[in-house]
Amino acid sequence: MALLIDDSCINCDMCDPECPNEAISLGEEIFEIEPALCTECVGHYDKPTCVSVCPIDCIAPDPNHKESQDELLVKYGILTGKIKV
């Protein structure tokens, strides 16, 4: 499933440069994750880098965008051009 940054985000900008899919950007008030681009770092790293660097633990699974590991791996393949659609 995609990840979600909750409203306790302090806009520290630690997560944005760490995202290999460029799924994180500054929203109107806090940083946001674009679900269509988020693979939870599947295909890139063992665990989500944004979660690893967040100093206040405000990033969690997005209950509105549930995906299996296999689905995240396919999304990774499509985003990186390794799978043609």
In sequence order, the β-bridge partners of residue 5 are 59
Q: Provide the whole-model pTM.
A: 0.93
CB atoms near residue 57 (< 10 Å):
9
Does the pLDDT of residue 84 top 90, yes or no?
A: no
Hey, where are the domains in the chain? 3-80
Q: Select 3-80's CATH number: 3.20.20.150, 3.40.50.300, 1.10.287.610, 3.30.70.20.
A: 3.30.70.20
- Which structure tokens are listed for 54? 């967040």
Number of alpha carbons in the 13 Å side-chain half-sphere of residue 38: 28
pLDDT grade, residue 33 (50/70/90)? very high
Q: What is the pLDDT of residues 43-74, one digit of tens each?
A: 999 999 999 999 999 999 999 999 999 999 99
User: Does residue 81 come out as left (phi exceeding 0), alpha (psi in the -120 to 50 range) or beta?
Assistant: left
